[in-house]
Structure 1
């Protein structure tokens, strides 16, 4: 009887806490990702140092040779390097997820009574903050070097917004790979193997019309080329509605395809 009384006293008689909403759960995991940056600020090197190095290197190494003027080349190449930089750092979404899987944290998250996609969605929204930071740093540096957006501030805002949408959709590719690839090194190798051809064989650095015909065929259908052309067009006031719609279609397609695959592998991960 005494043991029964002790057991009853040990059991809480308060109401069970309500299940957190999808927004609340996502915000919690977003805060977790922000805390990672707080305690390991080196994670921001890819969105701070990397854009600066690339912009300075390509502008002053190749600007005179390609355009005859570093100022003229800067106006052309900055939107391209902006897209390339943000596209390259999207892979870290998958790398962080892969680390959680290796440490066993991932399995703990899947047992929680929460909206399961919040584990991924929260991290992805924090990554949008990182992409915005990288874009801000690059555009600020560009203006210091002499870059000018012909369509003004509104063009820059629309261009960065479109880029963030594409980056968000591209991140789902790496979240899927982060779940199914067994090691961080393998995931890094796969990511670089995909991103390097896509970013360098595009209109990031030079006009595709200067390339050999056989290479132009690949460049013209490269999704990065579409994004670069749309961002460059929005910044300089030459973008068309079709340029923007193509990016919207690509982004929605990536989210629907790889978002669905990510959640399938997420729920069925052994």
Structure 2
């Protein structure tokens, strides 16, 4: 027995990577994005708000407030359509946090945590897939605007503006992802996110000129990050101009990702 045991080769435990490289991280993120895409296909009810919001908000604001604010619906549309796009897409980004909370409650993220994959991949993958919803909302809102008389003159700026909104909203979704990881219930995520976004949307230059606001409220609206995004989108879609607001908006998006992506990943590992 002793001689036989000595002849058998010793078992060498597999060497596990302590760090995941950039290529593997991107590949694993794409895999998780594909998983989220399959989930969207198998749960079509998640598209209800995506398909309805552009029609409801555009018709409601255009025909209710167009005459009172701009004198006519046609004169209000160049200002309104970019605002509706930003409002609808940013509101849709809240779903990122609620879905993440639901996945964590079912235990699927515990399985992801046990796999030898990049820690950020299970979080970043669904966020990448969510950009499809943002693109659909943006396209539908523009289509509705064209049907009721919006005639943008931005040319290439229309596409640049759409990409700007999608990139910025993807960055904002990291905030809701952090909330989804740290909150206890899906309802908490939805309630807190809505409580934040509703005032930010209406205390901005989205639907009325900031010059009409009270003196104490005007600086708040002018410094509102959504005001800069809406102003940048108006300049791009209507005039094809990439202005200062667009650069500031991109810088803000980069700062959000730099801060909230590591915080979300750390909170996810600690929570699970």
User: What is the TM-score with the length of structure 2 in the denominator?
Assistant: 0.89
- Tell me what 2:79 maps to: 76
Deviates more, 1:76-85 or 1:237-246: 237-246
What stretches of structure 2 of length at least 5 have no aligned partner? 1-13
Matched, 1:260 2:262: yes
Cα separation, partners in 2 of 1:49 and 1:157, compared to 1, 3 Å: same
Indicate which of 112, 120, 126 corresponds to 2:129. 126
- Once residues 241 and 155 of structure 1 are traced to their aligned partners in structure 2, the CA distance between those partners, rounded to angstroms, is 11
Q: Is the 8 A contact 2:83 2:230 kept in 1?
A: yes
- Once residues 232 and 85 of structure 1 are traced to their aligned partners in structure 2, the CA distance between those partners, rounded to angstroms, is 15
Matched, 1:87 2:80: no
CA-CA distance at 1:38 after TM superposition: 1.3
User: What is the TM-score with the length of structure 1 in the denominator?
Assistant: 0.90
- Tell me what 2:149 maps to: 146
- Tell me what 1:64 maps to: 67
Which residues of 2 match residues 157-172 of structure 1 at below 5 A?
Answer: 157-172=159-174
Q: Is the 8 A contact 2:232 2:243 kept in 1?
A: no
- Once residues 42 and 196 of structure 1 are traced to their aligned partners in structure 2, the CA distance between those partners, rounded to angstroms, is 24
- Once residues 195 and 37 of structure 1 are traced to their aligned partners in structure 2, the CA distance between those partners, rounded to angstroms, is 24
- Once residues 218 and 33 of structure 1 are traced to their aligned partners in structure 2, the CA distance between those partners, rounded to angstroms, is 37
Which residues of 2 match residues 208-223 of structure 1 at below 5 A?
Answer: 208-223=210-225
- Tell me what 1:4 maps to: none
What stretches of structure 1 of length at least 5 have no aligned partner? 1-14
SS at match of 1:44: helix
SS at match of 1:194: helix
CA-CA distance at 1:240 after TM superposition: 5.1
- Tell me what 1:100 maps to: 103
What does the per-residue CA deviation read over 1:115-172, in whole Å, with 9 as the maximum and x for residues that have no partner?
12111111111111110011011111111111011212x1111111111111011000
